[in-house]
């Protein structure tokens, strides 16, 4: 008996959101999407019952990418979903699962296995947050409904809340994917990044873009004293955020431009004379979603380092941590991503590391993102049926063909192999390079370059999907062409 036969009784019984039996009207899709978005914001504002003090966010600078909210029911965000996807992609890429995604039975097993892994990852992520190192400090006692809980029982209660939140976000993602527009993961990332971006731009408290310029323009802070004191670095990066604003605008422009760069392969209908179309192979063919996987892998590495350091300590060569729980030297320091300009500008005198140490960290981060972006982009294309073989089958099944070539799946696949693999690697590496560059220069609201990159690209694709849905709503025959009927 293979693993599939042994696991089938469990995997096929995993709870799932029922798929719509027919076409879902566009307005209803928007209603489901808006409802889940409102539920997401509602849950991020529900604090954990039993939490005492501020605690330490283990996800730290990765929070904009992994969504959720520190200290809320959605503490783990989409982290377990992304980690489970990494494990499945690695296993699938090594062909260790033996699952054929074209087989309906194997599709059910794959989806059940993914849900099971998410549940396991949620528990493994929540356990050290609650029970180890005081990252989420619990109250020593809690009175609730006439019952008094001691500290251990409060910790168990907090773990249960985080676990339920992780399961909720899993099924919220599934509702959006089946009944709404886009994907839940993309929607939650947009929501989190947009909230931080708007807050960083207009917040009245100290640190906001308009607040700092208001102080400069009203004379509360004199530009001359800033330049004479700490130099242009302060007004450009700290009190002025000028470079952060320019970086934010540039990322918007670059992503929108990169999404429009494409190679268009002409198509014609085999039976309907005059019916023509084009298959676009975009520069960012695999989208920027593989960046979530790369950053999540880095987040898990740093997560492990913080847990090991808090519980058992570690030798200096492996990592030295400051009071904020951030590595400042050793192996884990060099593997830590660049989050902001203050992480690499050694010439300002604010860093304790030498210039060569900072450059090694920048080099490792850039290498990790560029190579990791290319590798995960390849995995993404293959597992989401965007590769040459799957694309050729889709074109063949739609009745289209490439003019000048025989109407044969193998011929279409060979044409697609000229473009898709190369564009996938180039696009994945380019997105990784952009993410590091944006992090190094900083962004408004400290959403991180990767978070902003993801939000802009996902929003652009969401716009395209909404336009497609509206087109199919106006012309129902288009649903058959897009395979949505």
pLDDT in tens, 245-268: 788 888 888 888 888 888 888 888
189 with 38: CB under 8 angstroms?
A: no
Long-range CB contacts (< 8 A, 24+ apart) of 382-387? 382/92, 382/93, 383/88, 383/89, 383/92, 383/101, 385/101, 386/285, 386/286, 386/420, 387/420
Tens-digit pLDDT profile for residues 53-108: 777 787 777 787 888 888 899 999 998 998 888 888 778 766 777 777 777 888 88
Any domain includes 246: yes
Let me know whether 244 and 354 are in one domain. yes
Give the strand pairing for 400-401 and 262-269.
antiparallel
- Per the structure, the count of domains in the chain is 2
* Confidence grade of residue 409 (pLDDT, cut at 50, 70, 90): confident
Let me know whether 283 and 395 are in one domain. yes
Any domain includes 26: no
CA distance 313 to 321: 10
87 with 296: CB under 8 angstroms?
A: no
What is the predicted pLDDT for the residue at 229? 46
Any domain includes 3: no
Helix residue spans in 271-315 (DSSP H): 290-311
Indicate the pTM of the whole model: 0.80
CA atoms within 13 Å, Cβ hemisphere of 442: 21
276 with 286: CB under 8 angstroms?
A: no
Let me know whether 334 and 204 are in one domain. yes
What is the predicted pLDDT for the residue at 176? 94
Let me know whether 156 and 246 are in one domain. no
What is the predicted pLDDT for the residue at 207? 52
More confident: 5 or 173: 173
User: Cβ–Cβ contacts within 10 Å for residue 364, how many?
Assistant: 16
Let me know whether 306 and 422 are in one domain. yes
What is the predicted pLDDT for the residue at 484? 53
Any domain includes 290: yes
Q: What's the rounded mean pLDDT across residues 125-134? A: 84
Residue 136 has pLDDT above 90, yes or no: no
Residue 117 has pLDDT above 80, yes or no: yes
Let me know whether 118 and 247 are in one domain. no
Nearest CA to 12 out of 4, 20, 22, 1 is that of 4
CA distance 211 to 152: 44
CA atoms within 13 Å, Cβ hemisphere of 59: 22
What residues pair up with 72 in beta bridges, in sequence order? 47
Q: In the sheet where 262-269 sits, what is the strand order? A: 276-282, 262-269, 400-401
Let me know whether 199 and 176 are in one domain. no
39 with 188: CB under 8 angstroms?
A: no
* Confidence grade of residue 463 (pLDDT, cut at 50, 70, 90): confident
Any domain includes 30: no
Let me know whether 348 and 454 are in one domain. yes
Let me know whether 266 and 394 are in one domain. yes
142 with 50: CB under 8 angstroms?
A: yes
Residue 238 has pLDDT above 80, yes or no: no
Percent pLDDT > 70 in the chain is: 86
What is the predicted pLDDT for the residue at 361? 94
Let me know whether 396 and 436 are in one domain. yes
Nearest CA to 367 out of 298, 454, 422, 306 is that of 298
Contacts of 84 (CB under 8 A, 6+ apart): 114, 117, 118, 120, 121
More confident: 464 or 218: 464
For all residues of the chain together, what is the average pLDDT? 82
Last residue of a domain, one of 154, 180, 206: 180
Last residue of a domain, one of 146, 180, 214: 180
* Confidence grade of residue 228 (pLDDT, cut at 50, 70, 90): very low
What is the predicted pLDDT for the residue at 164? 96
**Angle, helix 79-93 to helix 290-311, in steps of 10 degrees:** 110
What is the predicted pLDDT for the residue at 157? 93
And the tokens for 313?
């300590």
Contacts of 433 (CB under 8 A, 6+ apart): 366, 369, 370, 373
And the tokens for 240?
């002025």
Let me know whether 199 and 245 are in one domain. yes
* Confidence grade of residue 362 (pLDDT, cut at 50, 70, 90): very high
Residue 222 has pLDDT above 70, yes or no: no
Torsion of CA 271, 276, 281, 282, to 10 degrees: -150
- The CA–CA distances, whole Å, from 33 to 41, 188, 371, 462, 464 equal 13, 11, 34, 11, 16
What is the predicted pLDDT for the residue at 211? 59
Any domain includes 18: no
Q: Which of 131-145, 159-173, 182-196, 386-400 has the highest mean pLDDT?
A: 159-173
Position of tokens 């519980």? 311
* Confidence grade of residue 231 (pLDDT, cut at 50, 70, 90): very low
Q: What's the rounded mean pLDDT across residues 316-328? A: 84
More confident: 42 or 313: 42
Let me know whether 304 and 174 are in one domain. no
Any domain includes 379: yes
Domain CATH for 283: 1.10.3370.10
Any domain includes 20: no
What residues pair up with 277 in beta bridges, in sequence order? 267
Percent pLDDT > 90 in the chain is: 25
Parent domain of 414:
195-482
Position of tokens 């880095």? 298
């Amino acid at each position: 008996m293979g693993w599939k036969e042994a696991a089938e009784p469990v995997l096929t019984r995993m709870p799932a959101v029922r798929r719509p039996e027919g076409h879902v009207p566009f307005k209803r899709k928007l209603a489901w999407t808006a409802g889940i978005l409102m539920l997401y914001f509602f849950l991020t504002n529900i604090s954990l019952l039993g939490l005492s003090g501020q605690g330490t966010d283990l996800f730290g600078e990765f929070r904009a990418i992994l969504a959720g909210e520190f200290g809320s029911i959605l503490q783990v965000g989409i982290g377990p979903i992304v980690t489970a996807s990494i494990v499945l992609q690695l296993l699938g890429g090594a062909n260790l699962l033996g699952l054929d995604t074209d087989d309906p039975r194997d599709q059910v097993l794959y989806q059940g296995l993914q849900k099971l892994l998410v549940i396991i990852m949620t528990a493994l992520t929540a356990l050290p947050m609650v029970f180890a190192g005081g990252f989420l400090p619990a109250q020593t006692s809690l009175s609730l409904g006439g019952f008094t809980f001691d500290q251990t029982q409060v910790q168990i209660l907090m773990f249960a809340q985080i676990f339920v939140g992780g399961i909720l976000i899993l099924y919220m993602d599934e509702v959006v994917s089946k009944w709404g527009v886009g994907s839940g993961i993309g929607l939650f990332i947009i929501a989190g990044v947009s909230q931080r971006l708007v807050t960083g731009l207009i917040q009245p408290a100290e640190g906001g873009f308009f607040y700092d310029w208001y102080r400069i323009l009203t004379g509360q802070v004199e530009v001359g004293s800033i330049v004479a004191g700490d130099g242009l670095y302060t007004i450009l990066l700290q009190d002025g955020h000028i470079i952060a604003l320019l970086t934010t605008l540039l990322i918007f422009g670059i992503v929108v431009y990169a999404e429009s760069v494409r190679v268009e392969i002409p198509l014609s209908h085999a039976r309907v004379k005059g019916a023509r179309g084009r298959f676009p192979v975009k520069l960012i063919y695999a989208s920027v979603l593989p960046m979530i996987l790369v950053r999540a892998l880095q987040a898990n590495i740093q997560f492990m380092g913080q847990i090991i350091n808090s519980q058992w300590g570690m030798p200096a060569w492996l990592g030295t941590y400051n009071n904020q729980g951030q590595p400042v030297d050793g192996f884990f320091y060099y593997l830590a991503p660049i989050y902001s300009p203050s992480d690499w500008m050694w010439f300002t005198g604010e860093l304790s590391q030498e210039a060569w140490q900072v450059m090694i960290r920048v080099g490792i981060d850039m290498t990790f993102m560029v190579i990791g972006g290319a590798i995960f982009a390849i995995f993404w294309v293959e597992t989401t049926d965007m590769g040459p073989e799957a694309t050729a089958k889709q074109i063949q099944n739609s009745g289209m063909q490439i003019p000048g070539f025989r109407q044969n799946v193998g011929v279409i696949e060979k044409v697609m192999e000229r473009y898709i693999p190369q564009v996938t690697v180039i696009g994945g590496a380019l997105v990784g390079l952009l993410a590091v560059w944006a992090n190094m220069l900083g962004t408004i609201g400290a959403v991180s370059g990767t978070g902003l990159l993801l939000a802009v690209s996902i929003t652009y694709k969401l716009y395209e999907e909404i336009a497609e849905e509206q087109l199919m709503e106006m012309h129902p025959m288009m649903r058959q062409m897009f395979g949505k009927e």
